[in-house]
Structure 1
């Protein structure tokens, strides 16, 4: 029986994944803090402008500045526009909702991606994964609650961020057929800096020293977190790395309690548990599907080929 090759340096991957999620969680906290006095476009600009530094560092470490070249500028532009719009909605949801609420609703993105992969990527999704998608999305609607229960606008913006994030991931998959991952990250960060820089001109608010430090912190934590996450996905299967993303809800709930003395509503606690469970189920079903495909390919390659008529003549 064949098994998937073990993850190389699993402890290093574990530490890197934990650091990445921790840094992103701190970034989300800083976004919520800074948007109490500053505009969302300002937070977005600093996240992307400062985030360019570690991306360029990774390209320098790779020793291949040719990664900056692309034959698909239009694809990068579209992916970046959708991605930065998703990020804008995500940041705005932090200003309207507790961190845990916004984070939990955003976990719908992998479920929506699975559903969209059928019409847009022509992928096959079996009944088990469809069931997980439906259950997970029902849990998301349960978290949002009926109109008037909680901040409906913030919840809908967070859900919009999840939908746009799924479309961005579809675009990344398509670009990934010809483009290096660092090329995709570079153009996303560069285009996003341009987009948010223009938007910031129309939403500028004066900066205090405290706000400036928060904005710099957003850029550093987001950029360095991206470095660690890129390292993880480059050296380990997605099925090993993806589950670490769900640590974000733990950090979000902890920050809500420590900074704002807020405890997640029972809808969020129950709904996020279901969404996480269905998301993990989809990840592991996907891993099993790929493993089965690899096994089938390997077994097929080991089968002896039947001699053709030409082979028989040559042998005679």
Structure 2
């Protein structure tokens, strides 16, 4: 999961740099770059392209595309900091959904730790003065569906190869992003082509390791680790965009790390007992 969040943090930085492009075009390039990796690997390994549980695979793909699209749409109405902060409620939604759908037990202290980590995220990213209602609905919808993605991957488990799961998601995003970007296409420069295509490479790495993480452990252990992406984003923001972070931000980082580490300790202790 750590490898996953590093890849996604770098990918998000590239998306921020390419903010002049329409969101559908970003989704399209995000998918096509990953498909270049997944399809040849699936064919080479002679893995069934369609998998075994087609309904769950397709559901995970559709839910993932909805989440991704809603998140990008929210950026049209809200500041980036607000959108990113609110989307990081997805581990909380994942834990709640896993509690009802997968019957995964959650201790009271874990709920408190989830809340603590989320408060840390809010302290780092902060909220804008005005929160647009439409944008708020978009980003919260994205967070809920992102939480459902975590649960569906856990539900699929090790029955499907990670490449098949990723391929379903990217193929769906490719079709959707391609169709929607027809009327919103912007011709990239040579350097922008490289950056746009790199989104797929970084996304592939992030998606592969995230899928492996959820296939090998409980949702409420793995999902909160997604918050580490905020910390890596801070480092990249400081080095790449020259962003400056204050003591409040550092306190938020501490709360996230404390919430995540202690939650993992509780779960590991429970497993040993």
TM-score by shorter chain over 0.5: yes
* Map of 2:10 onto structure 1: 26
Structure 2 distance, partners of 1:153, 1:278, is: 31
Distance change in 2, residues 1:75/1:207 (3 Å)? same
The 3-state SS of whatever aligns with 1:65 is: coil
The gaps in structure 1 that reach 5 residues or longer are 1-16, 293-316
Q: Structure 2 unaligned runs (5+)? A: none
1:38 aligns with 2:21: yes
In 1, the alpha carbon distance for the partners of 2:235 and 2:136 equals: 20
Residue 172 of structure 1: aligned partner: 153
* Structure 1 residue 87: Cα displacement: 2.1
State how far apart, in whole Å, the 2-side matches of 1:199 and 1:180 are: 29
For 1:29 and 1:73, how far apart are their aligned partners in 2? 33
d(CA) in 2 for partners of 1:255, 1:151: 28
Give the aligned partner of residue 65 of structure 1.
Answer: 47
The equivalent of 2:186 in structure 1 is 205
Cα pair 1:83 1:164 within 8 Å, conserved: yes
Task: Quote the Cα distance in structure 1 between the aligned partners of 2:113 and 2:2.
Answer: 26
1:153-179 per-position Cα deviation (integer Å, ceiling 9, x unaligned) = 767755543322111111222222743
**Alpha carbons of structure 1 residues 88 and 291: separation in structure 2 relative to 1, 3 Å:** farther
Higher radius of gyration, 1 or 2: 1
1:192/1:275 CA distance change after superposition, 3 Å: same
The residue that corresponds to 1:188 in the other structure is: 169
Match of 2:114 in 1: 133
Q: Which segment is superposed worse, 215-224 or 37-46?
A: 215-224
Match of 1:282 in 2: 263
Shift of 1:105: 4.5
Length-normalised TM-score, structure 1: 0.68
Q: How many residues align?
A: 271
Alignment of 1:88-127 (within 5 A): 88-91=69-72, 97=79, 105-127=86-108
- When the two structures are superposed, what TM-score results if normalisation uses the length of structure 2? 0.77
Shift of the 257–264 alpha-carbon distance from structure 1 to 2, 3 Å rule, reads: same
Taking the aligned partners of 2:202 and 2:130, their CA distance within structure 1 comes to 33
Conservation of the 8 A alpha-carbon contact between 1:32 and 1:91:
no
CA pair 119-282 structure 1, distance change in 2 beyond 3 A: same
Whole-Å Cα distance in 2 between the matches of residues 122 and 27 of structure 1? 33
Aligned to 1:82: 63
Check if 1:52 corresponds to 2:35: yes
1:133-282 to 2 correspondences below 5 Å: 133-137=114-118, 148=129, 158-176=139-157, 178-227=159-208, 229=209, 233=213, 245-264=226-245, 268-282=249-263
Displacement of 1:44: 0.9
* Partner Cα separation in structure 2 for residue 265 and residue 149 of structure 1: 22
Q: Is the 8 A contact 1:144 1:155 kept in 2?
A: no
1:105–1:143 CA contact under 8 A, matched in 2: no
1:312 maps to none
